[in-house]
Amino acid sequence: MTTSLYERLGGDEAVLRRLVDAFYDRMDRDAVYAGIRALHPPSLDGSRDKLFWYLCGWTGGEPHYVSRFGHPRLRARHLPFAIATRERDQWLDCMAAALLEAGIAPALGEELMRALAPLADWMRNRAE
Ligand code: HEM
């Protein structure tokens, strides 16, 4: 039996909350991410909660996002935002840095990135 990512992250939601906070704090303060920051609402509070809830379920923990909003329909929910290769890469770079900042073991962080990369790619909805 394989152990879920959630369990390998410590089986503790606080780890994912720390990750999401590191991700959005970085997006908010680092000019490198100004492009994707501008797609988000002025307050990132709701974005933080939603990504946190989503990642809890996606890694194999409690399905907080689905119990609140139903099926994620993630690609459809991202259609209002212009996401091309540049935005996808900014998102993934920001996440890679946040994983390190949140103190997640590098090998586990790399595994998470390998799983997130195709998902982020699927969010692309513009040629450029
Ligand atoms: C693995 C990739 C990704 C995951 C798991 C993810 C997850 C999510 C989730 C769960 C939401 C909330 C949806 C809702 O209920 O309204 C969301 C919203 C959003 N995402 Fe993503 N996303 C990903 C990639 C991206 C990428 C590449 C961008 C590029 C900029 C992006 C930009 C946004 C924006 C602008 C919102 C709206 C935030 C808000 O309304 O507060 N996402 N994302």
Domains of the chain, each with CATH number or no CATH: 9-122 (1.10.490.10)
pLDDT in tens, 88-97: 999 999 999 9
Atom 10 in ligand 1: residue holding the nearest Cα:
51
Q: How many CB atoms lie within 10 A of CB 104?
A: 22
- 49/78 Cα distance (integer angstroms): 16
Query: What pTM was computed for the model?
Result: 0.96
pLDDT in tens, 11-61: 999 999 999 999 999 999 999 999 999 999 999 999 999 999 999 999 999
Mean of pLDDT over the chain: 97
Q: Which of 36, 91, 122, 124 to mutate to test the pocket of ligand 1 (most atoms within 8 A of CB)?
A: 91
